C-alpha cells in the first residue's frame, strides 16, 4: 500500500482495523502513561551529528549479537497474544521476520506453540521469560523453548506482576474467546493482570539468575534494567546481555525514558556484554540515535503488531523492511559506514 510510508502510517491503519479494547491493550501504559510518552519524547528530542566525507556509499547494517549474525541491529520485541491481532498469530510474525531475516524474541504469553513458531522462523529466535512463583512452571516453559531450538532466554525483571493499566480497567479487558497463552500449563487465563497476580514470582532477587543457570545452558539476558548500578550487578552475576527497558511504559509511569537511561548503563557495562534498548522506536533514525548512544541493538514491539494487524506476515515484513530502509538511509546521511564500532561522541580535533 503506497499510503504506508512510515511506521506511524501502519499505526493509523492498525487502529482502524483492531477493536478498541485490543487497540488499547496494545497501546496503553501504566497509570497516567507518563513513561509511555517519555519514551517517544526522548527520541523526538534526540539528534545525531552527521559526519561528512566518510566515503560511505552503502552502509553496513549487519551486526553480531551473542555469536549470531544479525542482518540489522534490531529485533522483534516480546509482545503477548498475537492471535488477538491476526488469526495466524505469532506464526505470521515469525514468517514476516524471516525475510530479512530479523531476530524474534517470543513472549512467554505467545498464543501459538513455540514449536510452531520455530518451524517458520528464519533468524535467531529467543524466548522472553517471566519468573513464576511455581518454578515448575518456569522450568516447563524453558523446556519447551529448548525443545523448539530457541537460542537464548530474556528474563523480564521489571514485572513482579502486571501493573494497573487504566485503559484495560475502563474496558474491563478480557482475552477474546480462543486466545490463550498456550505454552503455559494454566493456559486458560482470561485476564492477564489477574493471572500475573496469582502466578508471577513477586519477590525476585539476584538468586533467580543462579537458579536459571542451574536448569539451562541457554544464554541469559535480563530485560527491564534501568539503573546503571543494576546493570553492573547483572554483569557481576554473569548475565550474557542487558536490555534497558521500562516495559514500553506499561509497568511504572514514573520511570524515565529508556533512551535517557542508556548512556549511563553503557558506560557502566563498558562492553562486558551487549546492551539492547527498547521503548519508543518508530523509525530508522531512532535506531541510529540508540546506536549513537551506545546500544548494540534495539527491540521493536508495537510497530510489529501494527504491521501484523494491517497485513499479517506481509504487514510485519513491510514494517521491518521499512525500518531497515530508513536505518540505511539515516546511516548514509549521518556518514556512518557501519553499526559497530560507534563513532566517538567527543569533538574531532582540527587537522594539523
List the catalytic residues.
247
Q: What distance in Å separates the CA atoms of residue 124 and residue 105, rounded to the nearest whole number?
A: 8
Q: How many residues does the chain have?
A: 352
Q: Is 130 annotated as a binding residue?
A: yes
Q: Is 14 annotated as a binding residue?
A: no
Q: Is 337 annotated as a binding residue?
A: no
Q: Is 251 annotated as a binding residue?
A: no
Q: Is 32 annotated as a binding residue?
A: no
Q: Is 283 annotated as a binding residue?
A: no
Go through 148-187 and write b for each residue having 16 or more CB atoms within 10 A of its CB, e for each that does not.
bebbbbbbbbbbbbbbebebbeebebebeeebbbbbbeee
Partnered with residue 65 across adjacent β-strands are: 68
Helices vs. strands in the chain: H and E counts, helices first: 13, 10
Write the DSSP symbol of residue 203.
S
Q: Is 279 annotated as a binding residue?
A: yes
Q: Is 47 annotated as a binding residue?
A: no
Q: Is 280 annotated as a binding residue?
A: yes
Q: Is 174 annotated as a binding residue?
A: no
Rounded-to-5 percentages of helix, strand, coil across the chain: 45, 10, 45
Q: Is 340 annotated as a binding residue?
A: no
Q: What distance in Å separates the CA atoms of residue 222 and residue 224, rounded to the nearest whole number?
A: 7
How distant, in Å, are the alpha carbons of 40, 268, 284, 305, 316 from that of 9? Answer: 16, 37, 14, 13, 13
Q: Is 207 annotated as a binding residue?
A: no
Q: What distance in Å separates the CA atoms of residue 98 and residue 101, rounded to the nearest whole number?
A: 4
Residue 223 grid cell = 530485560
Residue 126 grid cell = 529467543
Cell 514449536, residue located: 115
Q: Is 10 annotated as a binding residue?
A: no
Largest CA distance in the chain: 71
Q: Is 80 annotated as a binding residue?
A: yes
Residue ranges of the annotated binding site are 78-80, 107, 128, 130, 156, 165, 223, 245, 247, 250, 278-282, 301-302
Residue ranges of the annotated binding site for glyoxylate are 165, 247, 250
Residue ranges of the annotated binding site for FMN are 78-80, 107, 128, 130, 156, 223, 245, 278-282, 301-302
Amino acid at each position: 500500500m503506497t499510503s504506508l510510508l512510515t511506521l506511524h502510517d501502519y499505526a493509523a491503519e492498525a487502529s482502524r482495523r483492531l477493536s478498541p479494547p485490543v487497540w488499547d491493550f496494545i497501546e496503553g501504559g501504566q497509570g497516567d502513561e507518563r513513561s509511555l510518552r517519555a519514551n517517544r519524547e526522548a527520541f523526538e528530542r534526540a539528534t545525531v551529528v552527521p559526519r561528512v566525507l566518510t566515503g560511505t556509499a552503502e552502509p553496513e547494517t549487519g551486526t553480531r549479537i551473542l555469536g549470531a549474525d544479525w542482518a540489522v541491529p534490531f529485533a522483534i520485541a516480546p509482545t503477548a497474544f498475537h492471535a488477538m491481532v491476526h488469526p495466524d498469530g505469532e506464526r505470521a510474525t515469525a514468517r514476516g521476520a524471516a525475510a530479512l531475516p530479523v531476530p524474534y524474541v517470543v513472549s512467554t504469553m505467545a498464543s501459538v506453540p513455540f514449536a510452531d513458531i520455530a518451524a517458520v522462523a528464519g533468524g535467531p529466535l529467543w524466548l522472553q521469560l517471566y519468573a513464576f512463583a511455581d518454578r515448575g512452571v518456569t522450568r516447563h516453559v524453558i523446556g519447551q523453548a529448548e525443545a523448539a531450538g530457541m537460542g537464548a532466554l530474556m528474563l523480564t525483571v521489571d514485572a513482579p506482576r502486571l501493573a494497573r493499566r487504566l485503559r484495560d480497567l475502563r474496558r474491563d479487558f478480557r482475552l477474546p474467546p480462543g486466545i490463550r497463552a498456550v505454552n503455559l500449563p494454566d493456559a486458560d487465563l482470561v485476564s492477564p493482570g489477574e493471572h500475573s497476580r496469582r502466578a508471577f514470582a513477586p519477590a525476585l532477587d539476584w538468586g533467580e539468575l543462579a537458579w536459571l543457570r542451574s536448569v539451562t545452558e541457554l544464554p541469559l539476558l535480563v530485560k527491564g534494567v534501568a539503573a546503571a548500578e543494576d546493570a553492573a550487578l547483572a554483569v557481576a552475576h554473569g548475565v550474557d546481555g542487558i536490555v534497558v527497558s521500562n516495559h514500553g511504559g506499561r509497568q511504572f509511569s514514573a520511570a524515565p525514558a529508556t533512551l535517557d537511561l542508556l548512556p549511563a548503563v553503557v558506560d557502566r557495562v563498558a562492553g562486558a556484554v551487549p546492551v539492547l534498548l527498547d521503548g519508543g522506536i518508530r523509525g530508522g533514525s531512532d535506531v541510529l540515535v540508540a546506536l549513537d548512544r551506545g546500544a548494540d541493538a534495539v527491540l521493536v514491539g508495537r510497530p510489529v503488531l501494527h504491521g501484523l494487524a494491517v497485513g499479517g506476515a506481509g504487514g510485519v515484513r513491510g514494517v521491518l523492511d521499512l525500518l531497515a530502509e530508513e536505518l540505511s538511509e539515516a546511516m548514509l546521511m549521518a556518514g556512518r559506514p557501519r553499526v559497530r564500532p560507534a563513532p566517538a561522541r567527543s569533538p574531532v580535533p582540527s587537522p594539523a
